[in-house]
Amino acid sequence: MSKQYFVENKSNSGGSSAEVAAKVAYINDQPYEVKEGDTILALMRRHFGKDAVPTLCDAPNLDPFGSCRVCSVDVALVKDGPVKTMASCHTPVMPGSFIYPESDRIQKLRKNIVELVLTDHPLDCLTCEVNNNCELQAVAAKVGIRDVRYPEGKNHLDKKKDLSHAYMTSDFSKCINCFRCVRACDEVQGQFVLSMGGRGFDSHIIKSLETNFEKSDCVSCGACAQACPTSAISDIFESKSIQVDEKVRTVCTYCGVGCNLEVAVKGGKIKSIQAPYEADTNQGHTCLKGRYAFAFYNHKDRLRTPMIKRNGEFEPATWDEAYDFIAKKLTEVKEKHGPDSVAGISSSRGTNEENYLMQKFIRAVMGTNNIDCCARVCHSPTAIGMQRAFGTGAATNSIRDLKLTDCIMVIGANPTDGHPVTGAKLKQVALSGRTSIVIDPRRTELAKYATYHLQLRPGTNMALLNMMLYFIISEGMEDKDFIANRTEGYEEFKQEILSQNIDELEQICGVDKQLVRDAAIAYAKAPNAMEFHGLGVTEHSQGTFTIMMITSLAMITGNVGRPGVGVNPLRGQNNVQGSADMGCQPYQGAGYFDVSVPEYH
């Protein structure tokens, strides 16, 4: 029936009508392009904006759920044919179908649904009254509700607020059972703290089978507070419930993940921090530090002015006095003892510009290569090892490629602690059933979910990686085309690996060779495999060589140079990569040029 209709109707764009039908759907009888994987809601938002269809249980960083049905639309397979009401958030677009998002019956349905939802929410909620951005209030206004015809539903009003958490509070008298907090805890953080207890009118949110946050397994990421549309769970300093002067977009300064933050400011003071959903790095998620650890910016002990020590005591000074003092002292030291008597320490918490100027000052003005930063201590083996293998010391892929990978290998890192937002993404990969390999002496949180946990002795990374390479090569699992077209020196490398004594390597690292073999074969067989490493690899005397073994493992299996694969260092501070790129190491200038080569001077 549908096919016959489209055969009879020609398109102005050319091509057969069947081809056209496969590419478009009709919204209020007008054709709109359909993309592969489109839901009705995604199609509507792409063409009409994010407010095209009202929603309550939907959130940008959560999987479609379809519980509230506020997003329902009418759909017909043929024009003027029978219509069926469907939840737009999780219903795939049927090419050639006709969608009516604002029909009379849909508007009546939405109004009725929202009225019923409001019976579970206090009508005198102060959050709704003072805040124009309350999602429930906004949806109620959009569907045209002025009053609620139904009696109060669940008796939430006798529930006490949970004030046990240092940063969040919960008041479930405001809860509408949309499940967004539960799903955020599960799908974003992977902590599974929140759940739904009870049945029917007794349904309510529980926290690890406990009544409060304090006794639960909460890690304070705040994903539930950000997801909640009614402030049933909220930050203690909650921008949803206060009017702020502005919201400032910035980047988190803690670890190397680079999370985007949206800082709510009122009266020149930070009131709360949220994570923008459209941020490519963290997509509406932060860790404890990124969301809540902001009180330091205005701490009473923070320096407000330069200080100069006089007569054994630090005294406030002007910037001009400080600059004159620094210039005078450095000049005196240089003239008396020579340029190598001066050294500079730059910072991986500084910007690229600051780091570049610091090393330039030490080298060009003071005349010495005595410049250093934490990048040399923590990740210089990564830079050198990857430079020797790939020509550059940066990650080969983006974190977004985790969506495309089939296997992850994490070695010498505890990302759920050290890089919680990336760690949560890695945890979701492991929970999804995809292959995960954790190489670490500790039973980290990620190791609990891993397909293979290779619990080696500390400092024996080289022995274990040699075993993995041995099994891949000896069993013919290497990517011969990639090796032939993209690598050099493989035959010599192969001979060296196959000459290793596997039993001796097993004794050194302490991991059963059969388990290592299984993990190595799983890594080699995966269509796409990504590797992540941290300080447990680099802060060893053999750190550089371990990185080279990791890059070799990626190259002999062809896991470099396309989406969903690669070698990825987990940087500690927020600009470790930049400080090294800018030349804040004694042996390398900006761009990693070797300072011992005269032509680079």
When pLDDT is cut at 50, 70 and 90, the band that residue 584 belongs to is very high
When pLDDT is cut at 50, 70 and 90, the band that residue 412 belongs to is very high
Tokens of 570: 């987990």
Q: Please provide the average confidence, as pLDDT, over all residues in the chain.
A: 89
Indicate if the pLDDT at residue 514 is higher than 90. Answer: yes
- CATH code for the structural domain at 20-102: 3.10.20.740
* Mean pLDDT in residue range 283-299: 90
- The string of DSSP letters for 64-122 reads ---SS-TTEEEEESSTTS-EEEEETTTPBP-TT-EEETT-HHHHHHHHHHHHHHHTTS-
Q: Which residues pair with 372 in a beta bridge?
A: 345
Condensed to tens digits (0 to 9), the pLDDT of residues 311-355 reads 999 999 999 999 999 999 999 999 999 999 999 999 999 999 999
CA 455 to chain CA centroid, Å, is 26
8 A C-beta contact, residue 574 and residue 567: no
Tokens of 35: 């993309």
- Return the percentage of the chain with pLDDT > 90, whole number: 67
Measured between its terminal Cα atoms, the distance across the chain in Å is 77
Indicate if the pLDDT at residue 374 is higher than 90. Answer: no
Task: Determine the Cα angle at 42 with ends 50 and 233, to 5°.
Answer: 60
Condensed to tens digits (0 to 9), the pLDDT of residues 189-231 reads 999 999 988 887 788 889 987 678 888 899 999 999 999 998 8
Architecture of domain 168-297: Single Sheet (2.20)
Comparing 599 with 96, the larger pLDDT belongs to: 96
- Which of 39, 34, 32, 31 has the alpha carbon at shortest distance from 72? 39
User: 168-297 and 391-570: same fold?
Assistant: no
pLDDT score recorded for residue 10: 36
Condensed to tens digits (0 to 9), the pLDDT of residues 126-166 reads 455 544 557 888 888 888 887 778 777 665 545 688 899 99
Q: Helices 502-509 and 461-474: crossing angle, nearest 10°?
A: 150
pLDDT score recorded for residue 127: 53
* Mean pLDDT in residue range 167-174: 88
pLDDT score recorded for residue 178: 92
- The string of DSSP letters for 534-559 reads -HHHHSSTTHHHHHHHHHHHHHHTT-
Q: Please report the beta strands in 441-561, taking only residues with DSSP state E, as ranges in sequence order.
A: 452-454, 529-533
Condensed to tens digits (0 to 9), the pLDDT of residues 19-59 reads 445 689 999 999 999 999 999 999 999 999 988 999 999 99
Can you identify the CATH homologous superfamily of domain 391-570?
Dimethylsulfoxide Reductase, domain 2 (3.40.228.10)
Condensed to tens digits (0 to 9), the pLDDT of residues 385-406 reads 998 999 888 899 999 999 999 9
DSSP 37: T
Indicate if the pLDDT at residue 407 is higher than 60. Answer: yes
**Rounded to whole angstroms, how far apart are CA atoms 429 and 446?**
10
Residue ranges per structural domain of the chain: 20-102, 168-297, 303-337, 347-379+573-601, 391-570
* Mean pLDDT in residue range 520-538: 96
pLDDT score recorded for residue 123: 62
Condensed to tens digits (0 to 9), the pLDDT of residues 555-565 reads 999 999 999 99
Indicate if the pLDDT at residue 243 is higher than 80. Answer: no
- Say which range, 20-29, 286-295, 401-410, 589-598, has the weakest mean pLDDT: 20-29
Indicate if the pLDDT at residue 255 is higher than 60. Answer: yes
8 A C-beta contact, residue 466 and residue 446: no
Cβ contacts of residue 148 below 8 Å, gap of 6+?
115, 118, 119, 123
- The string of DSSP letters for 307-375 reads EEEETTEEEE--HHHHHHHHHHHHHHHHHHH-GGG--EE--TTS-HHHHHHHHHIIIIIS----EE-HH
**Residue whose pair of structure tokens reads 């999780």 in the numeric block:** 90
Indicate if the pLDDT at residue 61 is higher than 70. Answer: yes
* Mean pLDDT in residue range 290-302: 88
When pLDDT is cut at 50, 70 and 90, the band that residue 502 belongs to is very high
